[in-house]
């Protein structure tokens, strides 16, 4: 990699044209030789010994290998089926070599972008810089979580500054690779901003932030929000038994939802002989139909079914053991600050027929909620259905499901 002066580094992202830029980006996509060796000799562990870089093909991906004197000192594996998780670069700043991992993930209109810049002095990885940002382009959806053009622009400017001084080592992320090939250099121009004609057309004469702002305006106007139908009752005639848990640890919340909108639930988290508990109950008042497989529920009341205050502790003897209890909040019915929800908080109830394969379907864009499913699945076409009842807390995107 060519070295750059501090003046050149300060100019990155300012729009200035420099001869050094052409030198920095001309070899961004180096090709391995017949034995998988890349034409690079970095010194990632900063011990003065040049390393060898190899790229090995796997059946379903690639493996990046860093060797020193023939000994493997680091490896990174990328699989083609896991988009956004396998973009790795050699970044050289002020003569020092770093490993840059860039994870730009976009799924069902929900973006989760992050990067980590690491040093390997003494063969120990040390993170020297990192950043992440989440956003959502499902502007008309009830599960839309936010889109901040300024924050996205700042993040992209940071990663492009680092990519300017980088060469690609491993990249199995198709959309990102396509962006690089289109731009002719390592530069993320956000591929998802294209292809929305006539609602939005990128203007190359405007800054990224200006394009993001116009994208937000145009797509918000184009994506009409879902309007609930007149209030109706719950679509069930028998009680529903639903559970909220992660699949890891010894905590869970179980609830029973009645056809009249009332519910009772019990949360517990066991850690040895210490147990956090919260029995609670409440009622959904307004029930509005969204689609044939989803309903918007508005919380009318929520009460903890105990006289003990949150945080209060006490002991009980059970089966010859002393159990230490701690009164807790009603998990599953809490807000982003883990406090009990207030009246007016909203949930969405999904029937087993709910799908999420395209914009406008019940589960499209509800990525965080999908992560709480007891049996993980992807929604690729109309045949991929939820297969059980689900209830999403719109404050936290957490979910209850029937088994």
pLDDT of residue 230: 76
Strand spans (E) along 32-137: 52-57, 61-68, 71-79, 87-93, 96-107, 110-119, 126-136
Measured in whole angstroms, how far is the alpha carbon of residue 315 from the centre of its chain? 40
**Radius of gyration in angstroms for the set of CA atoms belonging to the chain, rounded to a whole number:** 26
pLDDT of residue 86: 75
Measured in whole angstroms, how far is the alpha carbon of residue 345 from the centre of its chain? 24
pLDDT of residue 175: 87
CB neighbourhood size of 264 (10 A): 15
* Whether the Cβ atoms of residue 280 and residue 330 lie closer than 8 Å to each other: yes
Separation CA 39–CA 70 (nearest Å) = 16
pLDDT of residue 81: 62
- Ranges of residues in the chain with a pLDDT under 50 are 1-25, 83-84
Mean pLDDT, the chain, whole residue set: 89
pLDDT in tens, 174-194: 888 888 988 888 999 999 999
pLDDT in tens, 284-330: 999 999 999 999 999 999 999 999 999 999 999 988 899 999 999 99
Contacts of 65 (CB under 8 A, 6+ apart): 53, 54, 55, 56, 72, 74, 75
């Amino acid at each position: 990699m060519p070295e750059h002066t501090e003046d050149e580094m300060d100019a990155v992202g300012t729009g200035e044209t420099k001869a050094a830029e052409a030198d920095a980006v001309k070899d961004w996509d180096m090709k391995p030789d017949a034995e998988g060796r890349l034409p690079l000799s970095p010194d990632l562990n900063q011990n003065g010994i040049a390393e060898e870089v190899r790229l090995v093909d796997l059946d379903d991906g690639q493996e990046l290998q860093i060797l020193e004197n023939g000994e493997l000192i680091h490896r990174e594996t990328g699989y083609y089926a896991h988009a956004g998780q396998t973009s790795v670069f050699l970044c050289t700043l002020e003569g020092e070599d770093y490993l840059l991992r860039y994870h730009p993930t976009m799924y069902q209109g929900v973006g989760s972008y992050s990067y980590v810049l690491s040093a390997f002095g003494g063969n120990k990885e040390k993170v020297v810089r990192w950043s992440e940002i989440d956003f959502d382009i499902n502007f008309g959806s009830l599960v839309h979580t936010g889109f901040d053009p300024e924050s996205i622009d700042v993040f992209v400017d940071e990663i492009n500054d680092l990519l300017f001084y980088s060469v690609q080592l491993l990249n199995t992320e198709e959309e990102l690779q396509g962006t690089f090939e289109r731009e002719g250099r390592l530069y993320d121009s956000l591929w998802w901003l294209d292809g929305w004609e006539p609602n939005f057309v990128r203007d190359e004469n405007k800054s990224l932030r200006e394009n993001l702002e116009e994208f937000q305006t145009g797509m918000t106007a184009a994506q009409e929000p879902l309007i609930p139908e007149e209030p109706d009752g719950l679509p069930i005639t028998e009680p529903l038994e639903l559970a909220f848990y992660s699949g890891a640890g010894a905590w869970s919340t179980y609830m029973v939802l009645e056809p009249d909108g009332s519910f009772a639930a019990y949360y517990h988290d066991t850690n040895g002989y210490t147990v956090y508990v919260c029995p609670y109950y409440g009622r959904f008042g307004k029930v509005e139909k969204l689609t044939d497989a989803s309903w918007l529920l508005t919380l009318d009341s929520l009460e903890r079914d105990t006289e003990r205050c949150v945080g209060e502790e006490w002991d009980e003897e059970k089966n010859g053991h002393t159990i230490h209890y701690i009164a807790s909040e009603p998990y599953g019915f809490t807000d982003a600050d883990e406090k009990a929800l207030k009246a007016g908080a909203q949930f969405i109830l999904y029937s087993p027929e709910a799908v999420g394969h395209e914009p406008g379907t019940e589960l499209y864009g509800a990525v965080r909620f999908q992560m709480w499913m007891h049996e993980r699945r992807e929604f690729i076409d109309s045949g991929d259905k939820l297969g059980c009842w689900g209830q999403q807390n719109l404050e936290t995107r957490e979910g209850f499901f029937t088994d």
